[in-house]
Amino acid sequence: MAARFFLGFLILLLHSIISCGVYEDQVGLADWHQRYIGKTKHAVFHSHKTGRKRVVVSTEENVIASLDLRTGDIFWRHVLGENDPVNQVDISLGKYVITLSSEGSVLRAWNLPDGQLIWESVLQFSAPSRSLLHVPTKFGLERESVVFVFGGGWLHAISSIDGEKIWKKELYTEGLDIQQVFQQDDSDSLYAVGFLDSLQFVAYHISVKNGEVLEESKKSFASGFYGSMLLVSRDILVALDASRSSIVSIKFSRGSVSFHQTYISDIVPEVAGIVEIVPSKLSGLFTLKTDASLVLFRFNSIGELVVENTFSHPTILSDSISITEGHQVFAVMQHAETKVHIAVRFVNDLTSEALKETIELHPQRGNVQKVFINNYVKTDRSYGFRALLVMEDHSLLLVQQGKIVWSREDGLASVVDSTTSELPVEKDGVSVAKVEHSLFEWLKGHLLKLKETLMLATPDDIAAIQEMRLKSSEKTKMTRDHNGFRKLIIVLTKAGKVFALHTGDGRVVWSLLLRSLRISEGCECPSVLKLSQWQVPHHRAMVESPSVLVLAKCGPDFLQSGVFSIIDSYTGKLRSSQKLPHSLLQVIPLPFTDSTEQRLHLVIDSNFEAHLYPRTPDSIDIFLREISNIYWYAVDYIEGIMKGYSFNGKCKADMEDQYCFNSKELWSIIFPAHSEKLAIIATRKMNEVVHTQAKVIADQDVMYKYISKSLIFVATISPKAAGEIGSVTPEEAWLIAYLIDAVTGRILHRVIHQGAQGPVNAVVSENWVVYHYFNLRAHRYEMSVIEIYDQSRADNKDVLKLVLGKHNLTSPISLYSRPEVVVKSQSYFFTHSVKVMTVTTTAKGITSKQLLIGTIADQVLALDKRYLDPRRTASPTQSEKEEGIIPLTDTLPIIPQSYVTHSLQVEGIRGIVTIPAKLESTTLVFAYGVDLFFTRIAPSRTYDSLTEDFNYALLLITIVALVAAILVTWVLSEKKELRDRWK
């Protein structure tokens, strides 16, 4: 009986072990996913009494989203892609979201409640032009619901019900720039106004019913116009003259156009510098922006310009909204240190304020850059107002009744670079209360887990288990763990803000906006470039904090000065910031550290002179000692030229600067412009660890990997094939792959793929390269692999030489000696288009490699490198099978369980970062785009540890059952032996 019980229990145990998968209560244990939308460009409120209150926004990341006004959560969201930027957004009929994108060529209607695409209309193009969308606000019973779109020189009338084109009218003329499309009081006619060669004002009066031009008015202006015009009232437009010294008011009516020129200095004497008209919608008002202030203008009853108000910088004005018939209001946002004063004023009477509030903003959010307001009716029947603020760090805030209702860190949708930092070392001295609390939680957790194993857990118990796992103290602690899973992911965003994210749950530990660059360093328009580790203390890890380096330029021009900012990795405090006395063309982190463990960096300026940082005597000694082994290269993608450099001494222009060095050109490669265009350049990760140089193959032979950190992969395509896939014939397209040594400029290998077209993605690791492209002949994507081996070490195969010590494994290698290399390559079909590729990295480089592929579906796929082995054959021998070589197939397999992101999507994926953990089996993976995703994977399974979800309760039951079975068996055996002896 006991034996049967034991056998049945053992079968149950074996079945429980081999079952695999991610269960519902395991979601979020080792991964997290965060959804964002990016910096808001347009916002339209929809807060009717019936239905949910929401705001529809479009962003710089080409996202259209509907947000809950109460919480800021995303109702629905669509990412249109980087080649489909959103130009305008509006709401039609109270139920459709109308979006215009791709420079006015694509018009879409989305269902407001759920975001489903209702219809899409692709519009005709004559030539690139300004794109304009006009959605009428009122419709009579006899009118059809129509939206008007101008783009590419054509004016279209589109039905908002089904997207059908009702009529179209070409307004394209050489030099014509249509600036505004509008109706006067929702009449049956439409106006399209603009400039012709910036010298002539043109107005088209068009019938709404059939698109017929009822009247065309033109009038020249001698001084010419500058920039864009703005509609102030139903028949008055304003613009600046070509010199931007006067305001031109343009009054038009049927058949007549008149200009009135007012010099700015006559009405605003203190205005100096560059002026421009702010493109806002203020009924009867318009704003002029100067270097020091915003000036609000109005036309008086006799048509003269008068100054209504002057605001000092930084001040932001919203568009006007209607609250009652004939009453419109707009918001004025003014900064005062960390506070923001909000005033809602009436358009017709600026002295009256419908609302006046002051809110406190976190200084790390920067200034308000845009504001959108919306009104609502309070319980006492008075009007209240809510304001949607777009901040300098790209975050989004909703302010209501003097409080911040919610905020969104949407700057994280525009990550440009990332690095990692270790957490502080856990120090001694843990309180007894903390230990007791942890012990209680541990016992409670295992009790609940035991109930779950015995299938006695209630739904509340299962929810408690999941909550305890998600809030595990081990997962979210701010100290290092022995497995190396807990780290800080430090990311740099397009807004110039640095975030530190905890790998446990993705929360923001600290953030820092580098707005001080504009103030202290005199950078008018700083643009961030790169994030790098500056100091990683090992010997003094208990008392010193690591730091990161943020590199920026004081403008988009490559001649602009650079800025160094050093940030504490634990606290986010700015340790130092300095403006460099030279330009910043390229930054090269060196694999050396000084006595304080600061990493050496070389900054290459526009004169190709190298500047060493940190500027300390210790760093210069290290650099001079290693200068003969330091090389770098530069690439000119436009001209198709690669050049390699070394250093030949200190700068001659400034002999006093001992940290400046001249570059000496060593080699150059010119790719002929008529046949080759640079597509991609890829190199190995500088911190990649290679476990062994030798590779033992099936016949017990040894091949030695050609491992060099100076190996560069270069891919070029034919100039005609630089467009979209299918834009050329296979005979006109080719891809050429190069393996180049960065020290000597020697081309180690070159292969041509006829009929291949980009886009090209590539990854380099150890001695191999994998690259992805499109095969026009097969009409499929392909992935090719190249492996390069060093034949100069072939003598090391002799065991006798190895025993006698006559091998050359430790002999020095010079890249100037021509290497004896052998190359193996293979190509495979691949199902997906690829956005980005990387390779897993581990602490010692022992674990097998996996390719992490960001697919067109915005998911991350893990593909075992064994599938991309160039030695695969259709019928591998027995020894090759034992080696692990997979039989050859023409297509790489896509296994559904290999998706690292499971069913989630990292919308707009732009990069995948792999971080080695202390456990050799495990790699941490961080993917970023519009969304952020983090997880950890084990390419060769967790062979060196037990998983976190290991069922200790079941193990305990098994041990108890085994002990009980042993005791029962022993008792039965003793009884049987006693009976046998009595016989």
Answer yes or no: is pLDDT of 566 > 60: yes
pLDDT digit string (tens) for 955-977?
A: 888 899 999 999 999 999 988 88
489: part of which helix (H) or strand (E)? Answer: strand 487-493
> Percent of the chain scored above 70 by pLDDT?
87
pLDDT reported for residue 434: 40
pLDDT digit string (tens) for 226-274?
A: 888 898 888 889 999 988 888 999 988 777 888 888 888 888 877 767 8
Answer yes or no: is pLDDT of 620 > 50: yes
**What are the strands of the beta sheet with 117-122, ordered from one edge?**
86-92, 96-101, 106-111, 117-122
pLDDT reported for residue 775: 93
> Percent of the chain scored above 90 by pLDDT?
37
DSSP output for 548-602: EEEEEESSSSTTSEEEEEEEETTT--EEEEEEEEEE-SEEEEEEEE-TT-BEEEE
DSSP output for 787-814: EEEEGGGGGGG-HHHHHHT---SSS---
Residue (of 901, 32, 29) closest to 465 by Cα position: 29
Running DSSP on this structure, what letter comes out for residue 516? H
- What rounded mean pLDDT belongs to the chain? 84
pLDDT digit string (tens) for 664-722?
A: 999 999 999 888 999 999 999 888 888 888 787 766 678 888 888 889 999 999 998 88
Strand partners of residue 45:
55
Burial 476-502 (b: 16+ CB within 10 A, else e): eeeebbebbbbbbbbbbbbbbbbbbbb
Would you kindly state where each structural domain of the chain is located, as residue ranges?
951-982
Q: Name the token pair of 227.
A: 């920039």
Residue (of 77, 84, 81, 110) closest to 96 by Cα position: 110
Confidence of residue 491 (pLDDT cuts 50, 70, 90): very high
Running DSSP on this structure, what letter comes out for residue 705? B
